[in-house]
Homo-oligomer: A and B are copies of this chain.
Amino acid sequence: MGRIPVVYYSKSGNTRRMAELVAEGANQPPHEIRLRELADATAEDVLWADGMAIGSPTWMGGVAWPMKRWWDETIVKAWGKLDGKIGCAFSSEGGMSGGAELTCLNLVTLMLNYGMLTFGVTDYVGKRTTLHYGPTCVREPSGDEDCAACRLLGQRLAQWVSVLVDGDHSRHPRQGERP
């Protein structure tokens, strides 16, 4: 079983709802999941992790400042000790074209700075929705495709933890399709 914290900051509840769906996806089959509000997430949580999903609302085209402070200060003692852990991102925005992809890239950049490995997802979860750089939602996840995108992020994270950290190659998402 992999250790997977899902850490989110949320003011309106939209990013929290995304985080719950990500955590749900990461737990099939069961892993050790810690669903953590930013205020409760500590350096110990990320040191404990094999992989983690981090979510922030999009504020002014990037991560909300409390999320940036968390990386800059709260978990800074873990810097240099997260190398090789696996991470991914998600974000809620106020409107279409509102910057949620840019926020996901902000989070990816933070993870790279910490020496982590981050991944993209090639899959489509419906005719009009993918999650290449992490799922993005306009406000709350609404409709089947939004919810499926959040769940798939968690599921893929759990798969990479199983395959790459635990060496369980049977959980590779492209099993049977690989050259």
The yes or no answer to A12 lying at the interface (CB within 8 A) is no
A35 interface residue (CB < 8 Å to B):
no
Please state if A83 and B128 are interface contacts (CB–CB under 8 Å). Answer: no
Question: Which residues on the B side are within 8 Å of A61 (C-beta)?
Answer: 109-110, 112-113, 132-133
Known pairs A102-B101, A112-B120, A113-B122; A95 contacts B130 (CB<8 A): yes
Count this chain's copies in the assembly: 4
Main secondary structure of the interface of A (DSSP, over half): mixed
Taking a contact as CB atoms closer than 8 A, the residue among B48, B62, B128, B174 that contacts A84 in the complex is B174
A102 touches B99 (CB 8 A): no
Interface residue A116 (Cβ < 8 Å from any Cβ of B): yes
- For chain A, residues 130 to 159, give those with C-beta under 8 angstroms from any C-beta of chain B: 130-136, 138-139, 145, 149
What mask results when residues 116 to 127 of chain A are scored 1 for a CB within 8 Å of chain B, else 0? 111111101011
27 A-B pairs whose Cβ atoms sit less than 8 Å apart in the complex: A60-B114, A61-B109, A61-B132, A61-B133, A64-B68, A65-B65, A68-B68, A81-B174, A81-B179, A83-B173, A86-B117, A95-B126, A96-B129, A96-B130, A97-B149, A99-B109, A99-B133, A105-B105, A109-B133, A112-B118, A112-B133, A114-B122, A115-B121, A115-B122, A118-B118, A128-B139, A164-B164
Interface residues of A (CB under 8 A from B): 47-48, 59-65, 68-69, 71-73, 79-81, 83-84, 86, 94-102, 105-106, 108-122, 124, 126-136, 138-139, 145, 149, 160, 163-165, 167, 172-174, 177-179
